[in-house]
Structure formats: structure tokens, C-alpha cells
């Protein structure tokens, strides 16, 4: 791991002042940053430890929603009884991610910023070409082993999958990412790769995530995070879905539905077309299967990741059936 200096920031302002210089990086749980520093993917000269800033890890839940401090650990948010009751998909997205040790280390702010697991991105010594790491250098994944690569939101410059789970649940329930006084809807926080895959999020140099807010809703309260993967635990999603459902008093008519996909797209992927197709419809397996296929509209496979198109549609359908308790 390359050499760097280490400084503890005592306040958000101090963190900004210290991190505004190039090659300075904020350090929270360190689970992504130190890993990538060891891989040679990031080369910070100065780390600013923000975990000692006070009052940035509180979890507040009221009738209008939840506010989660950026430094709250994944494990604490996952286990919070108020989050489990009012936002089960949020809790499940966290408890199904990583391992118990990593969840004790990683913060929710840092979790949103975790980098792709694209094997080409993570191995600069073997694969110098990566438009994310070195803009304009090309993409070693296109034409390579693509089993874990994205089928939605890709470009010729980048097909790397966004790896996180929490962010998928956040975009499904219209969460907002707070950067001090600036607030960005989660759906707009993550940037499609296009021709600039090195720009992943709407954060500017010196800015840090301070809080995540999630509005309360009946759909968030009746929600599920379903994650399908190559092994049963401690693995990234082959495909995952955050689904929330609100039903009319008849128990069968869908009045509100939220669907977002993970493990198949370059960013956390909200499925508005599938939601629209199901709003007002009856909760029955055939309708759900038809609408779930709409979630994969525009999907573009490149070789071995073709399986994700069918898989993700089925994950959406199963998550809706599970949430509606008809499976």
C-alpha cells in the first residue's frame, strides 16, 4: 500500500478544508478505501479520518420518515427496530450485504460510495485499460469475462456494475442524500457512466455525505429486499430487487408499488415502467410476471451476463409476490 499521511477531522468544515487538495481522500470505515489502496486502484497522499466527527451517526425515526447520519454503521442501522418496522427493505439490504465484520466497520455514507467489483477495474497491474480509473484508456471488460457486468445503463466506455444493496432500497423509496445543506434525490445522486465513467456520483471535491433521509410511506413499511447470488451469503448480488407495496382495502389492488434493481445495472436502478404497469392492477402472478419483464427494458447483454436479464425479471416478480404474501 502506498504511503499517505493521516489526519483526524473534528468537524465537517475541517474535513472539507483538509480534503479539498487533490489526492486527499476522506476515510470512514475504510472497507473500500483501504482495500482499493492495497489493489493500487486509489493512491491517496492524505487520508482524512471523519469517524471522530461527533453527532453524525444518529438514527432518527418519526412519522414523516427516517434520518440516518452518514457515519452510522451498517450493522446498527440494519438492527434498529424502528428501521426494521418502518423500512424492512432498508434493513434487509444492509443485513444481506457484506459480512458481520464489514457491517460493523462500514458507514452508510461510505457504503453508498463503494466502488464497482469489476475485476478489470480492481486489477490495474494486469489491466491498464479502464475508463473509470484512467479516463480515455479504454475498457478491458468489453469483450472480456462479463458474467458479473451490467446489462442496464451501460455505455461503450463502461459496463461495470454498481455493487451496493442499500442504495437500491434508497432509490426505491425516494430517499434523499444530504451533503451539508445540499440535498440530492438518491435517484439523481448516482451518475450513468456515459462517456465519463470516472464520474460516479454527484459529489464535488471537498463535499461529504452528512445524512440520508427516507420519507415514510405505506410501501416502505411493506417492503422486501430480495438478493440472489452465487453463494448464499457474503456475496454480491447476481440480481436483487427492493420492492414496496401498498394495497387497497380489498387486499388485492395495487395502489402503490416501488421497484428498484441491484446487481444488474451501472447505478441503482429504479423501474418506473414496471411500477406504472402495476399501479391499479390486481396482485396476481401473471400480471406481475408480465410487468416484471418491463423492468429489464433496454437491457443489453455482452456475453456471459445475458443470464441477468431473465434472472432479474424473475427476482422482481418473486419479490413482489413475497411482499404481497401470495407466494
- State the minimum distance, in angstroms, from the CB of residue 35 to other proteins: 5
Nearer to other proteins, 75 or 223 (CB): 75
Q: For the CB of residue 13, give the shortest distance to other proteins in the complex, in Å.
A: 21
Query: Nearest Cα to 6, choosing from 49, 55, 43?
Result: 49
Whichever of 64 and 232 has its CB closer to other proteins, that residue is: 232
162 and 265 Cβ atoms separated by less than 8 Å? yes
Enclosing H/E stretch for 311 = helix 307-323
Could you give the strand order of the β-sheet that contains 239-247, starting from the edge strand earlier in sequence? 223-228, 239-247, 254-262, 269-270
Q: For the CB of residue 270, give the shortest distance to other proteins in the complex, in Å.
A: 28
Residues forming the site for other proteins (CB under 8 A): 1-6, 27, 30-31, 34-35, 38-39, 47, 49, 51, 75, 98-102, 104-105, 232-234
Residue number, 117 or 282, with CB nearest to other proteins: 117
Q: Which is nearer to other proteins, 85 or 284 (CB)?
A: 85
Where b means 16+ CB within 10 Å and e means fewer, 292-312 reads: bbbbbeebebbeebeebbebb
Bridge-based pairing state of the strands 176-179 and 46-49: unpaired
* Nearest approach, Cβ of residue 27 and other proteins (Å): 7
Q: Which is nearer to other proteins, 4 or 67 (CB)?
A: 4
CB of 100 to other proteins, least distance (A): 5
- Phi and psi angles of residue 73, each rounded to the nearest 5 degrees, phi first: -75, 150
CA distance 198 to 205: 14
Amino acid at each position: 500500500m502506498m504511503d499517505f499521511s493521516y489526519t483526524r477531522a473534528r468537524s465537517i468544515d475541517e474535513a472539507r478544508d483538509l480534503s479539498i487538495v487533490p489526492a486527499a481522500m476522506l476515510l470512514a470505515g475504510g472497507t473500500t478505501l483501504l482495500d482499493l489502496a492495497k489493489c493500487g486502484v486509489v493512491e491517496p497522499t492524505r487520508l482524512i479520518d471523519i469517524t471522530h466527527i461527533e453527532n453524525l451517526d444518529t438514527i432518527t425515526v418519526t412519522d414523516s420518515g427516517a434520518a440516518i447520519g452518514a457515519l452510522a454503521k451498517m450493522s446498527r442501522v440494519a438492527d434498529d427496530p424502528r428501521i426494521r418496522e418502518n423500512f424492512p427493505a432498508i434493513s434487509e439490504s444492509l443485513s444481506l450485504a457484506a459480512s458481520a465484520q464489514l457491517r460493523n466497520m462500514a458507514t452508510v455514507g461510505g457504503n453508498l460510495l463503494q466502488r464497482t467489483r469489476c475485476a478489470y477495474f480492481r486489477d490495474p497491474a494486469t489491466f491498464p485499460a479502464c475508463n473509470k480509473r484512467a479516463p480515455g484508456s479504454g475498457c478491458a471488460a468489453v469483450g472480456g469475462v462479463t458474467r458479473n457486468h451490467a446489462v442496464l445503463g451501460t455505455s461503450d466506455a463502461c459496463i461495470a456494475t454498481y455493487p451496493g444493496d442499500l442504495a437500491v432500497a434508497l432509490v426505491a423509496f425516494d430517499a434523499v442524500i444530504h451533503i451539508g445543506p445540499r440535498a440530492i434525490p438518491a435517484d439523481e445522486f448516482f451518475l450513468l457512466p456515459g462517456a465519463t465513467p470516472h464520474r460516479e456520483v454527484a459529489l464535488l471535491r471537498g463535499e461529504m455525505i452528512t445524512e440520508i433521509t427516507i420519507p415514510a410511506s405505506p410501501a416502505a413499511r411493506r417492503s422486501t429486499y430480495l438478493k440472489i447470488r452465487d453463494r448464499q451469503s457474503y456475496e454480491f448480488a447476481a440480481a436483487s430487487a427492493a420492492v414496496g407495496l401498498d394495497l387497497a382495502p380489498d387486499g388485492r389492488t395495487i395502489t402503490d408499488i416501488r421497484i428498484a434493481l441491484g446487481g444488474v445495472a451501472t447505478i441503482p436502478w429504479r423501474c418506473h415502467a414496471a411500477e406504472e404497469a402495476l399501479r391499479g392492477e390486481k396482485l396476481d402472478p401473471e400480471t406481475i410476471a408480465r410487468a416484471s419483464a418491463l423492468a429489464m427494458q433496454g437491457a443489453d447483454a455482452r456475453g456471459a451476463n445475458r443470464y441477468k436479464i431473465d434472472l432479474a425479471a424473475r427476482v422482481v416478480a418473486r419479490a413482489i409476490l413475497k411482499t404481497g404474501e401470495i407466494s
